[in-house]
Structure 1
Amino acid sequence: MSKNNFSLQPGDTVDVIAPASGCHPEVIEKFKTFLTGWKLKYHIPEDIFGSDLLCANSDEKRFNQLSAALSNSHSKAVWCLLGGYGSPRLLPLLEKLKPIAQHKLFIGFSDITALHIFLQMKWGWQTIHGPSGRQAALSQVSASSLNSLKKMLFSEKNTLTYALQPLNKLAENDSTITTSIIGGNLSLIQTSIGTRWQINPTDKILFIEETNERAYKVDRMLGHLKQAGILDQAKAIILGDFTGGAEPGGGNFVADTLKIFAEHCNIPVLHLAGAGHGESNYPISFGPPVALQMGNHSSLEWI
Structure 2
Amino acid sequence: MKGLAAFVMGGYPPAIGVVALSSLLALLAQPLTAPLAYLGGGALALVTLRRGPLPGLLVIGGSALAVGLVGVLALGGGLPLVVGAGSLWLPVWLAALVLRRTVSLALAVGAALGLGAVLVLAAHLAWDDPAQWWQDRLAPLVQAILKEGGPDLSDALPFMARWMTAMAAAALVFGTAVSLFVGRWWQAMLYNPGGFGREFRALQLGPRLGGATLLLMVAGMLLEGQAGRLATDLAVVLMTGFLFQGIALVHALVKASGRGRGWLVALYVLLVVAEPHAAVMLSLFGVADSWTRFRRQSSDAE
TM-score scaled by structure 1? 0.27
| Higher strand proportion | 1
Select the structure of larger CA radius of gyration. Answer: 2
The higher relative CO (CA closer than 8 Å, separation ≥ 6) is in 1
More helix by percentage:
2
